[in-house]
Amino acid sequence: MDALPQVTPRVHQLDALRGVAVLMILFANIFAFGYPLEVAEQAGLSESMSLLSKLQHQLYQLFVRGKFISLLTLLFGASLYLLWQQSQMSENRLKARMSALLLIGFCHAVFVWSGDVLLMYAAVASALLWQRVLHWTPEHQLRYARHYLAAGLVLPALVWLFPAGQVADQADTAKLIALYTGPYHDQLWHQTKYLALVAFDLLFVSYWWFGGIMLLAMWAMQSDWQQLLKTHFVTLLLIALGSGLLPILGTGFNVGGTGLHPLRMISDLCFALIYIRLFLSVIPLFPELLNLLRRCGRCSLSLYLWQSVAMVLLFRWVYPELFGMLGRGSLTTVALIVIMLQLLCVQYFYKASQLWWFEQLYRWLSLKLERKTQDTAA
């Protein structure tokens, strides 16, 4: 999520895409802000919902859920490659930046919100850097991207084939709501314990899946990726729709079965690539919007973290009576309002080449860690 100082057209495009991803990801995260993270997938869902509400939920599953985290992961991998080029192919600076991001992500996950993705990104990227993947040939990166993606689908496929069938009941949900709106030290302890689940997910799913996506992005940055997206657009669209619709058809359009699913993961990645292609085709027609989104991309770390801070304050502290109570339509409206406010803040307060709050912290920590590494080596 680090802003890139170079000003090539390609970097402008990536900045704008990152801006779209970090804003749109709130539409997916809002349910984990307004409900306990453990039951966020079922937030506001019931079989008694109207047919229109069920259709809206299925459209959300098909076109939104998981798509923008996949897009953000692709952009993270691309940024790693560009930063590596910028640093004259030295990995020490990248390792320092990932260590800084790991520290910020850890504090965010423990003290603010357990759904943090920064910790996961930093851990995956650090492991990839340890393997010196940026020194691999493009062909090697693509081959291992395929292997990693396949490995990341193994556990979700097993969960899908052999479901546990255990769903949190109302009593469990009520206990979680009381926990998250109760004393802060209880929240801290619970969020610290939740890191064990994050570690399990990292080991068996996210390292492989996110690592594969990052490797795919590194390979793409050394290829004519825009032409590849244009050439394979129809194929990607068919795969995205097919793998996205099959789980919906398999459940008979009911609102259950919204958890981890290998076909949905494939659909998420394909849709992320499709959105890149559509964005690059349409955005040149709106230069002012492109400039605004590019600026959002350059302060994406601050936007992402302020989303968490604002939503946790809103639902757990200012209006705890709303936590776990709002419907999906109301939560989506809250997300839309926050996104509009963030766009206005960037429009009126962000200056060119400026580092916003958390970007400044990230850069300061990175420099400190890099200098410490250099001093130790000397």
pLDDT of residue 86: 85
pLDDT of residue 6: 44
pLDDT band at 299 (very low <50, low <70, confident <90, very high): very high
| Top-confidence residue, 57 or 362 | 362
pLDDT band at 297 (very low <50, low <70, confident <90, very high): very high
- pLDDT for residue 70 is more than 80: yes
- pLDDT for residue 21 is more than 90: yes
| Top-confidence residue, 120 or 5 | 120
Dist CA 106 CA 119 (whole Å)? 6
What are the backbone dihedrals phi and psi of residue 162, each rounded to the nearest 5 degrees, phi first? Answer: -125, 70
pLDDT of residue 375: 78
pLDDT band at 1 (very low <50, low <70, confident <90, very high): low
What burial letters (b/e) apply to 320-332, b meaning 16+ CB within 10 Å? bebbbebebeebb
pLDDT band at 46 (very low <50, low <70, confident <90, very high): confident
For residue range 91-112, what is the model confidence (pLDDT) as tens digits? 888 999 999 999 999 999 999 9
For residue range 73-83, what is the model confidence (pLDDT) as tens digits? 999 999 999 99
| ∠ Cα 66 178 34 (to 5°) | 30
- For the beta carbon of residue 235, count every other beta carbon within 10 angstroms: 10
**3-class DSSP state for residue 66?**
coil
What is the average per-residue pLDDT within 162-191?
A: 85
pLDDT of residue 7: 45
Indicate the helix (H) or strand (E) that contains 228.
Answer: helix 225-231
pTM: 0.93
For 147, counting Cβ atoms within 10 Å of its Cβ (0-12 exposed, 13-18 middle, 19+ buried), the class is: middle
Best CA proximity match to 294, nearest among 250, 336, 353? 353
pLDDT band at 131 (very low <50, low <70, confident <90, very high): very high
